[in-house]
Structure formats: C-alpha cells, structure tokens
C-alpha cells in the first residue's frame, strides 16, 4: 500500500512538472512531503523488494534519525540540506553513545534513502554531502571488545546442552554456534532448507545478507540436535510434526523470532548460566574462531559461512561438498567432551556422533 502511495505521489509530481512545461509556467504547488512519510514509503519499497537489510535500516532511522526531526534536522523532506546531515552526524559523535561504525551505518542509510528520493524526483539533489573527517573512522567503540566477543568451547557446549535452557532456544544457538548462521538466517530457516546429504547434511541459504547463495554443512553435533528436535521436541511444542514449510525454530505462535526479543532472552540465559554478557551474533564469530583454531582451512570455511566473494579466483573456484564437510567437522564440539561432563545434559550422546565430531576413535 505504501508502495502505491509512493507511485501516486511521484506520478503527480511528474504530471505537474510536465503540465507546467507545456504551459510555460511554474508547476502548481504540491503539498509538502514529511520526511517521516518519505521514510515509510522507502522502507515499504525495500520490504517489497525483500531486502534483508530492511529491518536494520528501519531500526536506525527510528532510533537515530526520526527523533531529531523538527530539531536538528528538518521535518519536511524538501528542507533537508547538507548542513543538517552534518549536524546529525556531529551530534551523535559528540554524544558518545553510538560506536563509530554505527554512525557510519546511519549515514549510509540516509544516503540510500535520499538517492531513492532523487531517483523518484522528490528531491533535486541528495543532501548527503560531507567534507572529509566528518564521518568517524570505521572502528569499534571499544577497541578491546572484538577480542572478548567469543565464547569458549565449554561455554558454547553449555548453551547447547544445559537443560536450564529450553530446547527450542538450544536449537537456535546450535544454528548460530555450529552453523554460523546470522540471526535472520536462523530465524527464517525452514525444514525444507535442511537436506540430508553425505557425508554431512546441508543447510541451503539463498536469501543472505551478502546476497550470495551458499550451502552450510551441518556439523554432526548439530545434526544430532536437529534430528531429535524434529522427531520429538518440535511436536511437543506445537502439537504436530513439522511440515517442510514450517520454521525450524519459530516463536511460540509459530512466528519468526525477532532479533531484539532473541537478544533479550539470550542475555537472561547467559546470566542464568553464570556467563558474562555477549551478543547472540557472537556465536557466529565463535564457530568460525573455534573451527579455525581446530585446523579448519580459511578459504573453505569462508565459502561455507560467507559464500564466495567478488574476486575472480573465488568465482572460478567450486569446492567439493566432501572437502567443505571435512573442514566443518574439524570443529571439536560434542556432548560429554571435556568440560561439558559437569553439565546437566539433555540426553546422553551417541558414541558415533562424538567420534565423528572430535575425530577420535570410539574404542
């Protein structure tokens, strides 16, 4: 509906301009467009295009731009000038609440929005023109944060197997911590995307943040967790066996889990286990870090967790499925592996699963 409103508005503006040119007079005055209205239309258009960045774009505008309309920045779209964009960026820098990288993301969202407004002939030019040095460098707010943003092997196992955490959330953490899925990739994952292959199952990912399709091998421990969840846990939670089109880890009303809600829950569960605070996204970082520490090849692991880059050598490289599975299998995570034996576990681990996950003989 918002997309229809945008098209109607653009058609009216174009019609007025053409009519004025034919009459040799100035175009008739059109009602001013509020910046908030333009924002709603732009976000609606992005949702129609199914762009995975739309929720993050909406959050940045809602929290860090729209509250300043009528103050630091104009309330009307046509009144925006480069000085207003500069003032908004400098305000966030002086306030010190946002990381430099977040401020750069805000500017990128505004740049995209205004380019679309120019393309739709709602503005003559974009106001996102900044002199050098106004944007902060692309660094973390806390230079030591990234080094600490990882879980130990024992902490990851606690999140996967401790029965103080509900089973559905353990599966969610398994998808993030053993398959390195981003939150939206895990929350939108459907059973039809999990395919039983050899030597490991695969997770088919088509709509990713990087817009690059990839297939992620399913670690043997995650395969064991998913198999138990599909055969019994999912049925207990929702009253019927999962269908191929069902979400793998839906919320209680069978809806997709919101990232904000999931993060609040994750924070509470870390406290319940006596673990220090980190983000759910750090489980993805943990999987990659632990797997590389266990000897996984960088290029093959990157093909699994990020897909091919834009380089020619990546575009000309097709790894065999078995070789990708070998790298993921190097991650040493399993029920009962050193340190996890002190936890209250959901189920005893099948011997063959532990052997495959650790690379050690079961004898």
Span 139-151, pLDDT tens digits? 777 777 777 889 9
In a domain, 233, yes or no: yes
177-209 pLDDT, tens digit per residue, is: 999 999 999 999 999 999 999 999 999 998 666
What is the tally of structural domains in the chain? 2
Q: Indicate whether 136 belongs to any domain.
A: no
- My answer on whether 154 and 100 are in the same domain is no
Torsion of CA 34, 37, 43, 46, to 10 degrees: -90
204: domain CATH number is: 1.10.443.10
Tokens of 109: 């969202």
DSSP-assigned letters across all residues of 192-220? GGEE--SSS-EEEE-S-TTS--EEEE--H
Q: Are residues 170 and 242 in the same domain?
A: yes
Least confident of 30-39, 76-85, 121-130, 242-251: 30-39
Segment among 25-34, 201-210, 255-264, 349-358 with least mean pLDDT: 349-358
Domain containing residue 16: 2-119
Would you state the pLDDT for residue 343? Answer: 36
Report pLDDT digits (tens) over 79-88: 999 999 999 9
Q: Do residues 181 and 111 share a domain?
A: no
Structure tokens at 123: 């503005």
Dist. CA 152–CA 48, nearest whole Å: 40
Q: Which of 123, 103, 104 is nearest to 113 (CA)?
A: 123
Q: Please indicate, yes or no, whether residues 172 and 243 belong to a single structural domain of this protein.
A: yes
Q: Is the pLDDT of residue 292 over 70?
A: yes
Do 57 and 103 belong together in one domain?
yes
Question: Is the same domain home to 48 and 103?
Answer: yes
129 lies in some domain: no
Residue where a domain terminates, one of 82, 100, 119: 119
45 and 174, same structural domain? no
The answer to whether residue 215 sits within a structural domain is yes
Same domain for 328 and 217: yes
Confidence bin at 4 (pLDDT 50/70/90): low
What CATH number should be reported for the domain holding residue 26? 1.10.150
pLDDT at 352 over 90: no
**Contact assessment for residue 192 and residue 302, using Cβ atoms and an 8 Å cutoff:** no
Euclidean distance between CA atoms 36 and 42, whole angstroms = 10
């Amino acid at each position: 509906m918002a997309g229809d409103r945008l098209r109607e508005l653009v058609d009216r503006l174009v019609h007025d301009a053409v009519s004025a040119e034919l009459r040799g007079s100035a175009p008739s005055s059109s009602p001013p467009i509020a910046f908030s209205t333009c924002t709603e239309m732009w976000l609606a258009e992005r949702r129609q295009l199914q762009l995975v960045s739309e929720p993050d774009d909406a959050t940045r505008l809602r929290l860090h731009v729209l509250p300043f309309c009528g103050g630091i920045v104009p309330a009307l779209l046509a009144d925006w000038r480069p000085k207003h964009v500069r003032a908004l960026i400098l305000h966030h820098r002086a306030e010190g609440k946002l990381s430099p990288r977040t401020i750069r993301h805000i500017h990128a969202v505004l740049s995209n929005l205004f380019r679309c407004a120019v393309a739709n002939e709602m503005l003559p030019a974009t106001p996102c023109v900044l002199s050098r040095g106004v944007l902060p460098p692309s660094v973390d707010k806390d230079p030591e944060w990234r080094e600490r943003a990882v879980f130990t092997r024992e902490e990851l196992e606690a999140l996967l197997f401790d029965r103080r955490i509900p089973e559905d959330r353990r599966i969610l953490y398994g998808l993030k911590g053993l398959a390195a899925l981003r939150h939206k990739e895990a929350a939108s994952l459907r059973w039809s995307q999990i395919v039983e292959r050899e030597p490991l199952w695969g997770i088919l990912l088509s709509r990713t943040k990087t817009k690059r399709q990839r297939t992620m091998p399913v670690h043997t421990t995650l395969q064991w967790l998913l198999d138990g969840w599909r055969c019994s846990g999912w049925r207990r939670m929702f009253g019927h066996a999962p269908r191929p089109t069902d979400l793998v880890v839906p919320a209680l009303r069978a809806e997709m889990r919101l990232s904000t809600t999931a993060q609040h829950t994750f924070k509470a569960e870390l406290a319940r286990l006596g673990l220090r605070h980190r983000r759910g996204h750090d489980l993805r970082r943990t999987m990659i870090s632990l797997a590389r520490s266990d000897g996984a090849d960088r290029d093959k692991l990157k093909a699994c967790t990020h897909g091919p880059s834009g380089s020619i050598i990546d575009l000309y490289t097709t790894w065999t499925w078995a070789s990708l599975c070998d790298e993921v299998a190097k991650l040493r995570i399993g029920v009962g592996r050193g340190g996890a034996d002190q936890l209250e576990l959901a189920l005893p681990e099948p011997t063959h699963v532990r052997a495959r996950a650790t690379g050690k003989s079961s004898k």
